[in-house]
Homo-oligomer: A and B are copies of this chain.
Amino acid sequence: MIKAGILGGGQLGRMLLQAAANYPVVMYVMEKDADCPSAAYCNNFTIGDITNYDDVYAFGKKVDVLTIEIENVNVDALEKLEAEGLLIIPNTNALRTIKNKQLQKKFYKDNGLPTSEFINTQNKEDAANHKDLFPAVHKLAEGGYDGKGVVIINNESELDNAFDAPAVLEKKIDIVKELAITVAFSTSGETAIYSPVDMIFDNDLNLLSHQISPADIPENVFWKAEAIALQLVKKLASPGLFAVELFSDADGHVWVNETAPRVHNSGHHTIEACYSSQFDMLLRIMLGYPLGNTAHRSPAAIVNIVGAKDFNGEANYKGLEEVLAMDNVFVHIYGKAYTKPGRKMGHVTIVSNEKQELIHKVNQIKNLLQVVSQ
């Protein structure tokens, strides 16, 4: 049987393991935390540092194909493994491009993919010298994750927040919609594209409120978003699954925000909403099977379950029973022992043909379910 490895042991790895159990494959996971969400569901679990050359190289030697569930891995070791013939998904070229926001932006620009105006900055001073881009978004070149490593600089008075390390300063776009599109690219160059997801933000909390898929967007935004996402992935020219995040503005322009070269939160609804989930799709790519069917079985919404403000400690899911009693709702708890404010602890998917029902249940679930400490 094929041996497949995952670098990183978070919830993405855990859901990939769930999907892997449908196939003749033996799964391997490496992560330094033995209590991570994936460890419990993988008998071939290795404790190791995914940013360490030797750990990654040694782990890679155990498997026939290797993927990541987070970009922050040792790419040098992956390059060595790739040169020795190991199939790495995504390939290291794509991973290097995406992992560094300066290279990612350059890639969009070089390939004519519409993206916000930007300059690279090495320190605060560089940012201060580009007031013409304000209001701007300042993003660390490396290591940002889940909103960390990103600040908004509306004007000069907020320059204190700027990063004093390599970063990208982007002109802020007047966003009407945030969209995400998942694209699959097989080792033989086939592509498959999922419907755009509408990422709906809570402007008061400055947090993702929920997602709805397929997105309710004008036709011209829809086809532009799909065309950009597909072209982007073709230009990356790497097998893998890619989550492309886009903005649309009031003029109907569509812009690439950023890309994740892996399964992604924006695609979790595909587990129940689509014939082939993003996790199933990634496994098909890794195992050399035909790509799956991205069509929706029904529209869906997702609510992320994050640790409540002010609670740190052993997780307790208040309201879980009420949510489990709902008719058309699928609960995913990631099995993290400890909660902290904002930590992703799970998600809930709602399926329904009625958009109003999706939104109604989103609001119910947001009110009912809270992750507190015991």
B-side contacts of A290, CB under 8 Å: 321, 324-325
Is A356 at the interface (CB under 8 A from chain B)? Answer: no
A45 to B321 CA separation, bound complex (whole angstroms): 29
A14 to B26 CA separation, bound complex (whole angstroms): 13
Map CB proximity to B onto A34-45 as digits: 1 under 8 Å, 0 otherwise.
Answer: 000001111111
A42 to B40 CA separation, bound complex (whole angstroms): 6
Is A331 at the interface (CB under 8 A from chain B)? Answer: yes
Is A303 at the interface (CB under 8 A from chain B)? Answer: no
B-side contacts of A328, CB under 8 Å: 275, 293
Is A145 at the interface (CB under 8 A from chain B)? Answer: no
| A20 CB, min distance to chain B CBs, angstroms | 8
Is A289 at the interface (CB under 8 A from chain B)? Answer: yes
Is A159 at the interface (CB under 8 A from chain B)? Answer: no
Is A351 at the interface (CB under 8 A from chain B)? Answer: yes
* A335 in contact with B24 given A17-B41, A43-B45, A45-B43 (CB within 8 Å): yes
Is A223 at the interface (CB under 8 A from chain B)? Answer: no
User: Which of B18, B41, B275, B324 sits near A43, CB closer than 8 Å?
Assistant: B41
- Number of contacting residues on A, CB 8 A? 43
| A340 CB, min distance to chain B CBs, angstroms | 16
From A314, which residue of chain B is reached at the shortest CB distance? B1
B-side contacts of A337, CB under 8 Å: 1
Is A298 at the interface (CB under 8 A from chain B)? Answer: yes
| A308 CB, min distance to chain B CBs, angstroms | 16
Map CB proximity to B onto A119-149 as digits: 1 under 8 Å, 0 otherwise.
Answer: 0000000000000000000000000000000
- Would B18 and A21 count as touching, CB distance under 8 A? yes
From A351, which residue of chain B is reached at the shortest CB distance? B297
Is A193 at the interface (CB under 8 A from chain B)? Answer: no
Q: Which of A319-355 contact B (CB under 8 A)?
A: 320-321, 324-325, 327-328, 330-333, 335, 337, 351
* A295 in contact with B21 given A27-B40, A40-B26, A43-B41 (CB within 8 Å): no
B-side contacts of A292, CB under 8 Å: 324
Is A108 at the interface (CB under 8 A from chain B)? Answer: no
- Would B23 and A333 count as touching, CB distance under 8 A? yes
A103 to B179 CA separation, bound complex (whole angstroms): 60
Is A264 at the interface (CB under 8 A from chain B)? Answer: no
Map CB proximity to B onto A159-186 as digits: 1 under 8 Å, 0 otherwise.
Answer: 0000000000000000000000000000
- Would B293 and A333 count as touching, CB distance under 8 A? no
| A25 CB, min distance to chain B CBs, angstroms | 8
A362 to B298 CA separation, bound complex (whole angstroms): 23
- Would A21 and B26 count as touching, CB distance under 8 A? no
B-side contacts of A317, CB under 8 Å: 24
User: Could you tell me which A residues sit within 8 Å of B by CB distance?
Assistant: 1, 14-15, 17-18, 21-27, 39-45, 275, 284, 289-290, 292-293, 295, 297-298, 315, 317, 320-321, 324-325, 327-328, 330-333, 335, 337, 351
* Beyond known contacts A21-B40, A22-B331, A43-B43: 11 more, CB 8 A cutoff: A22-B330, A22-B332, A23-B333, A23-B335, A24-B333, A40-B42, A41-B41, A42-B43, A43-B45, A292-B324, A297-B297
Question: What are 7 A-B contacts defined by CB distance under 8 Å?
Answer: A15-B21, A17-B41, A26-B40, A27-B40, A40-B44, A284-B324, A289-B324
